Amino acid sequence: MRYQPVSFLRERNILSIRSFLILILSCITIKFNLGFSGTLSSLQTLPLNGHFSFDEIHHAARDFGNRYRFLPLAVLHPKSVSDIATTINHVWQMGPGSELTVAARGHGHSLQGQAQAHRGVVINMESFHGPEMKVHHGKNPYVDVSGGELWINILRESLKYGLAPKSWTDYLHLTVGGTLSNAGISGQAFRHGPQISNVHQLEVVTGKGDVLNCSEKQNADLFHGVLGGLGQFGIITRARISLEPAPKMVKWIRVLYSDFSTFARDQEHLTSAENTFDYIEGFVIINRTGLLNNWRSFFNPQDPVQASQFESDGRTLFCLELAKNFNPDKIDMINREIENLLSQLSYISSTLFMSEVSYIEFLDRVHVSEVKLRSKGLWEVPHPWLNLLVPRSKIHNFAQEVFGNILTDTSNGPILVYPVNKSKWDNRTSVVLPDEDVFYLVAFLSSAVPSSTGTDSLEHILTQNKRILDFCAAADLGVKQYLPHYTTQKEWRAHFGPRWEIFMQRKSAYDPLAILAPGQKIFQKAISIL
């Protein structure tokens, strides 16, 4: 009996394995292509008031961060809540055998692809307006708005009735659903809390396609879960926002400090005082030439001579930015209040600058910068932002290392620093906060120059961000990310800490197939291939 050589048998086995693998891969490819075609067909047959786009989809793979681009299969332009519910329910009915996911996209201001859905469906929330915006008067006024409405439009409409929302973000050209899925923080948060603390009621489409009204008294778990829930439990299609009487004018003030401890002490004094300013923020200025001269286009110096002699070159300075709302008939009283409040502070006397603007002009101030940057082609660049919530007890350690050692020569955009009172936040929402009664928002709002290899390059800024995060971890500062971005569930577990279990429970209850907001990279949809 003759035996085949061992090498011949080995080669034949390898060929057999290869043939088997090719067969398997071919089956998967055929099934994928058939599934792809079937998915398109099934979406096209859905009864909708709006429509799907299958060709004009590239804009849905972009966002303000300009770093991630995941092309969707389709973009839904809804005209009604039922369009959104029908689409999500259809994906839900397809079950785990489909890789299709769904993301809601507002004004596209996400930073790391959070509102994108690779080979999924992106819902263009700006196409959805729902019932007309309606302002309600009374003892506790409010406005009912679509989840796709921009805050700037809410401001304009509510001002017609002498009213306005209580809490804002610094940039108003964002959608209601977008900011409420995170928190919504600005200089009013020390008093009113974030935007999610000023919502009475929501209409939400869950990951099963159910349309539910929720509030503190109705579907309360969903209500609190969706607020700050990063889009994981449902898409906000309508919100009832708390309003208050709106002022006509604002006194807008800036003063400088050279010492961070004094700057922080004054901030905390103002945010804890009963009679204080209506808006309190701060920012860091690193090696800015002719700083006060640049301010003159918006502000008037109290002492022009001393201001002209002030040198900012090569220095790290801290600016306290304040606002006091008023109506013209109360101008004398407001001036006395401001004089009294400023007398309690220890800023550099020659750096007091003040301006008087309309309420809407103050709130929409960042849009002015946007227009200028767009005209210079500097808006649609990478924005590797890093937003941190730092416990009050650790802010001095943080400032000493970050502003003293890591960021020393220049900054590539605004660096915000201001304290927030935790008592104004609802701990039943999904937002994760530091374990102290007072914490600071520190926001590094950097812009990168695409072609640069220097200190304004994307790589350099990302390296700096990593150094900051590594320091926070090594020093055990108890810092939490705001607008968080992680790539593994292990990191997300660490972010949520003891709140992870309730987050998981809510996901299981409202989006058990992990259909919604895949760009957050918290949960991955389980897909059965064969």
Residue 250 dihedral angles phi and psi, to the nearest 5°: -140, 135
Pick from 185, 149, 192, 169: which is nearest to 366 by CA? 169
Q: Is 109 a catalytic residue?
A: yes
Token pair listed for 5: 């050589």
b/e code 11-20 from CB counts within 10 Å (16+ = b): eeeeeeeeee
Contact 415, 283 (CB under 8 A): yes
Of 107, 109, 460, 485, the catalytic one is 109
Residues 6+ apart with CB under 8 A from 324: 250, 251, 253, 277, 278, 334, 337, 338
Token pair listed for 124: 């263009």
Of 266, 281, 364, 401, the catalytic one is 281
Cross-strand partners of 387: 443
Range list of β-strands (E), 54-155: 74-77, 102-105, 121-124, 134-136, 142-146
Q: Is 511 a catalytic residue?
A: no
Contact 92, 522 (CB under 8 A): no
Contact 290, 314 (CB under 8 A): no
In three-state form (DSSP H/G/I as H, E/B as E, the rest C), the secondary structure along 244-279 is: EECCCEEEEEEEEECCHHHHHHHHHHHHHCCCCCCE
Task: Kindly report the number of other CB atoms within 10 A of residue 39's CB atom.
Answer: 21
Of 118, 129, 170, 491, the catalytic one is 170
* 88 CA to centre of own chain: 24
Taken in order 124, 61, 175, 156, the sign of the CA dihedral is: negative
Q: Is 90 a catalytic residue?
A: no
Residues 6+ apart with CB under 8 A from 156: 360
Task: Quickly list DSSP for 305-372.
Answer: HHHHH---TT-EEEEEEEEEEE-GGGHHHHHHHHHHHHTT----GGG-EEEEEEHHHHHTHHHHHHHH
Token pair listed for 193: 């809390």
Report CA Rg, the chain.
26
Active site residues: 109, 170, 281
